[in-house]
Amino acid sequence: RKERPVGASKQTKIFQKNCFITWDLLIYEYVSRLWRGSSDSTIAYNISTLSSKPSLFEAVKKEEWFKLLKEIFDKSQVKNTDVSIALMKPILYHMYCLKEISPPDSKYPIEVDHIIPQALFKGSSLERNDIVQDNLFNLGLLPKNNNISKSDKKLVEISDAWLKNQIKRYEFVDEKDFPKYSNINNYMDLFKKRKKIFEEAFGCCR
**How many Å from the N-terminal Cα to the C-terminal Cα in the chain?**
25
Backbone conformation region of residue 174, classed left if phi is above 0, alpha if psi is from -120 to 50, else beta: beta
Least confident of 14-23, 65-74, 77-86, 138-147: 138-147
Least confident of 22-31, 47-56, 65-74, 80-89: 47-56
Cα 153 to its chain centre, rounded Å, is: 22
Average pLDDT over residues 67-91: 94
pTM for the full predicted model: 0.86
- Helix %, strand %, coil % of the chain (to 5): 55, 5, 35
Most confident of the following: 95-104, 106-115, 186-195: 186-195
Residue 63 predicted with pLDDT over 80: yes
Q: Beta strand 81-82 with 139-143: parallel, antiparallel or unpaired?
A: unpaired
List pLDDT tens digits, range 28-47: 999 998 777 777 888 888 88
Q: Is 170:107 a contact under the CB 8 Å cutoff?
A: no
Residue 144 — pLDDT band, cuts 50, 70, 90?
confident
Query: Helices 187-204 and 62-75 sit at what angle, rounded to 10 degrees?
Result: 170
